[in-house]
Chain A
Amino acid sequence: MINLIRNELSKVFHKKSIYIMLIVTLIFIIACNVIYKYKDDDIKYGVSYQIEYYEETIKKLDPNNENDVDMYIQAKTEIETAKLIQNYGDKYNWQMRVINSFMRDVISQMNECLYREKDTAKYEEAKKEYEMLVAKINSGDWKYFVQKELEEVQKDLEQARKENSEEQIYSLELREQVLKWRLEKNICYGNDYKNECLESWENGKRRIKELKEENLSSHSYNISYNRAMEQIEISKYDIENEKTSGLDSDARGLLLNVFDQFELFIIIMGIMIAGTIVSEEFNKGTIKLLLIKPYKRTTILTAKFISSIIVLLIVIIIVMLMQFLVGGIVQEFELFKTPAVVYNHNIGQIQEISIPNYLLMQTLGKLPMYILLMTLAFALSTLFTNSALAITIGVLGYIGGPLVNQLAIAYNLKWIKYFVTPNWDLRQYLYGGVPQFEGINFAFSIAIIICYMIIMLVPTYMVFKRRNIKNI
């Protein structure tokens, strides 16, 4: 048996097809790493259209006309704000945010004085304030604005506490915490990962509060609650420890999410091997060579099945190694020192897990799905001795799986839990996770997976054992 497996592996690895697929995968991995490295975070904000529009409007307005003055002041304020933003590059940067939330009011004030009240002294006062703020922006003192915002929030909070408005207190406390973090952890306004964490934490906290008020079934409550908790805790962990463990676009994130990023390549290689390992021998006539050797047919078929799974494992390891090396070279190896971070729902705590351990658990969780799809291709390839059919249906199964799940959720089909697709991704049970479908658990999923394996393999073995080898 071991000799047969050795032979099968040697045949597979002497074929060009697997190397071609690996090279294609490698090219894709390199492209991903390079693209993420040079990803442009400076997204254009785009105020020029706004300026054009208000300038067109302002032409038709007369500031001295009682009816027009409101509109005039507003348009003027918008134009000046936009122009200020343009001065700082017209991008989603912190200056843009500060200008939008602080400067607009001051500019509006200045225009009020100038056109409505016509009070030069007040205008000068406002102008002084404006110039002071511009100076703060120019000197890069974003903390000044955070401080200012914090003061406002705290004032509101005091007010809310007096009024005993619980909802407002909750929401303002969240704002307060975010601002405190900004000061403490030096997180400037912007759209980088840290800001995402702050946002994600705040949204998660809100979601938790909303959930309690929504009237959900206990199962969907659990799912949403877990998702929100995970979001909150991981964001909080990253903010407090100044880490980027939840970031999925750097080399480390690509490695941790290897099954989301490069799964298609892994699955195609697996199905390709499983779908050809028997049928190709039939098509080329070499099956006769195998079948007149002193081995039982079931032994030969088992050797082929085990070999395809070994090839799958090798492919998974190669893809991970490729991402590790390419990611390390294109970005930096230093990144891989940060452990993976997961939220364990059982103990309600964040857990640090070493990267190899995390990848191992992910692989184990994903394996049933891969093996089931490969078994499908293997069975078809043996039953119909047609590689193209086996590979096509195998890949269709991969694409169709999530579709079936979505349909089942959309139409609330209870019996779907006896189908294989809701059960085949065991990652849903990792770290105390709640499965997406109601009424399934780990043992149930394992039983379903085994059942489907047997359903596919029994006829395959029976047919292969009795098959007449016709003229080829």
Chain B
Amino acid sequence: MQNLILSCKNLHKKLGKKQILKDVSVELYEGDILGFIGPNGAGKTTTIKLILGLQGIDSGEVTINGYNIQKDFTKAIKKVGAIIENPDLYMYLTGYQNLKLVSNMYKEITKERIDEVVKLVKLDKRINDKVSKYSLGMRQRLGVAQAILHKPNLLILDEPTNGLDPEGIKELRDLLKDLAKKEKMAIFISSHNLAEIETLCNKVCIIKSGEVIETTEISKVKSEAQSHYEITVDTTEKINEYLSYPIEIIDNQKFIVNVAKQQIPEIVKVLVNKEVKIYEINKKQMSLEDAFLKKTGGNTID
């Protein structure tokens, strides 16, 4: 049994009259990388702020490493590193001075540890430049550096890919993968774009309008998304009678069938026997998002 690191139970939050979060529950175990996916305004950042104790919780509870965030704040937050929204950096200081400020706030951070982390995020050449001269990607990496300086076992990243170009996103992804392996952290990443982080995560949690719609292992979704063929025929009227596979009819000429590759000849054979004219068979790679949409009943995420 893996260690439970983060547990959110039935979180509710109201800001003014607006109910921001309704009954949000998430669990994160050691080694997990959870993608927390939802459109803008779904409550991702608010959830993160509740987890980090930046906002009060109306009802429900957050436990990190066994400590309640509200009752035992300093103990609960001790092994947490986070970047919320943009990395919080002092622009008028150098990268190194920023890290030094963080290291002063924890007892156990040595100078060697700072150097090690600087190397890890590949900032060693620019670490003595003022942060105001950094590119967004470098700031993001420095943000990661100061979040992991004290060897947290839970890393929380809020929209880390925001504003990064594809190259930057790839760099960040590689960095996080590297970190998860080297530093043995559980990582909680929020994003509005699943595609950007799907290769990174092993779990996904979809949130919409303040409610968690689905939490699942990414491999399960992937398996569902694997076999997916679109077949164009002369008429789809009686297709359901002919085939016993899971079928989704799009219009009277196209339908989608979710089967493995090996079963395609079987299907063709049946259709030919029934004198259905086959014009086209396309293999469609279904994205994780589409798979989710299907699962959650065709709602759009964005």
Given the interface pairs A292-B53, A292-B80, A468-B54, the reply to whether A10 lies near B88 with Cβ below 8 Å is: no
CA of A113 to CA of B97 in the docked complex: distance in angstroms? 93
Q: Does chain A have a CB within 8 A of B78?
A: yes
Given the interface pairs A6-B104, A14-B97, A289-B88, the reply to whether A296 lies near B54 with Cβ below 8 Å is: no
CA of A358 to CA of B62 in the docked complex: distance in angstroms? 57
Pair B88/A469 contact, Cβ less than 8 Å: no
Q: Does chain A have a CB within 8 A of B89?
A: yes
Q: Does chain A have a CB within 8 A of B52?
A: yes
Pair A288/B84 contact, Cβ less than 8 Å: yes
CA of A289 to CA of B97 in the docked complex: distance in angstroms? 14
Q: Which residue of A lies closest to B88 (CB)?
A: A289
Q: Which residue of B lies closest to A472 (CB)?
A: B85
Q: Does chain A have a CB within 8 A of B242?
A: no
Pair B74/A292 contact, Cβ less than 8 Å: no
Q: Which residue of B lies closest to A287 (CB)?
A: B88
Interface residues as binary, A275-298 with B (CB distance below 8 Å gives 1, 0 otherwise): 000000000111111011111100
Interface residues as binary, B77-90 with A (CB distance below 8 Å gives 1, 0 otherwise): 11010101110111
Pair B85/A10 contact, Cβ less than 8 Å: no
Pair B105/A4 contact, Cβ less than 8 Å: yes
Contact partner, A7, options B52, B56, B101, Cβ 8 Å: B101
CA of A166 to CA of B234 in the docked complex: distance in angstroms? 136
Pair B73/A296 contact, Cβ less than 8 Å: yes
Pair B54/A3 contact, Cβ less than 8 Å: no
Give, as a whole number of angstroms, the nearest-CB distance from A277 to chain B.
Answer: 13
Pair B105/A7 contact, Cβ less than 8 Å: yes
Pair A3/B56 contact, Cβ less than 8 Å: no
Q: Does chain A have a CB within 8 A of B15?
A: yes
Interface residues as binary, A254-290 with B (CB distance below 8 Å gives 1, 0 otherwise): 0000000000000000000000000000001111110
Give, as a whole number of angstroms, the nearest-CB distance from A283 to chain B.
Answer: 12
CA of A6 to CA of B54 in the docked complex: distance in angstroms? 24
Pair A469/B77 contact, Cβ less than 8 Å: no
Pair A291/B74 contact, Cβ less than 8 Å: no
Q: Does chain A have a CB within 8 A of B235?
A: no
Given the interface pairs A11-B90, A285-B86, A294-B78, the reply to whether A469 lies near B55 with Cβ below 8 Å is: yes
Q: Does chain A have a CB within 8 A of B245?
A: no
Pair B88/A285 contact, Cβ less than 8 Å: yes
Residues of A close to B227: CB separation below 8 A: none
Given the interface pairs A468-B15, A468-B54, A469-B49, the reply to whether A292 lies near B90 with Cβ below 8 Å is: no
Interface residues as binary, A1-45 with B (CB distance below 8 Å gives 1, 0 otherwise): 001101100110011100000000000000000000000000000
CA of A426 to CA of B240 in the docked complex: distance in angstroms? 95
Interface of chain B residues 102 through 154 with chain A (CB within 8 A): 102, 104-106, 146
Q: Does chain A have a CB within 8 A of B45?
A: yes
Q: Which residue of A lies closest to B81 (CB)?
A: A292
CA of A15 to CA of B82 in the docked complex: distance in angstroms? 26
Q: Does chain B have a CB within 8 A of A162?
A: no
Pair A15/B92 contact, Cβ less than 8 Å: yes
CA of A3 to CA of B91 in the docked complex: distance in angstroms? 21
Q: Which residue of A lies closest to B97 (CB)?
A: A14
Q: Does chain B have a CB within 8 A of A337?
A: no
Q: Does chain B have a CB within 8 A of A139?
A: no
Residues of A close to B89: CB separation below 8 A: 286, 289
4 closest pairs, A vs B, by CB?
A: A289-B88, A469-B54, A468-B55, A294-B74
Between-chain CB contacts (< 8 Å), 11 pairs: A7-B105, A10-B101, A288-B52, A288-B85, A289-B102, A291-B52, A291-B54, A466-B56, A468-B56, A471-B85, A472-B85
- B residues in contact (CB < 8 Å) with A: 15, 45, 49, 52-56, 73-75, 77-78, 80, 82, 84-86, 88-93, 97, 101-102, 104-106, 146
Task: A11-B101, A294-B77, A468-B55 are known; give 16 further A-B pairs, CB within 8 A.
Answer: A4-B104, A10-B101, A14-B93, A15-B92, A286-B88, A288-B52, A288-B85, A289-B88, A291-B52, A292-B77, A295-B105, A296-B74, A468-B49, A469-B49, A469-B55, A470-B55
- A residues in contact (CB < 8 Å) with B: 3-4, 6-7, 10-11, 14-16, 284-289, 291-296, 466, 468-472
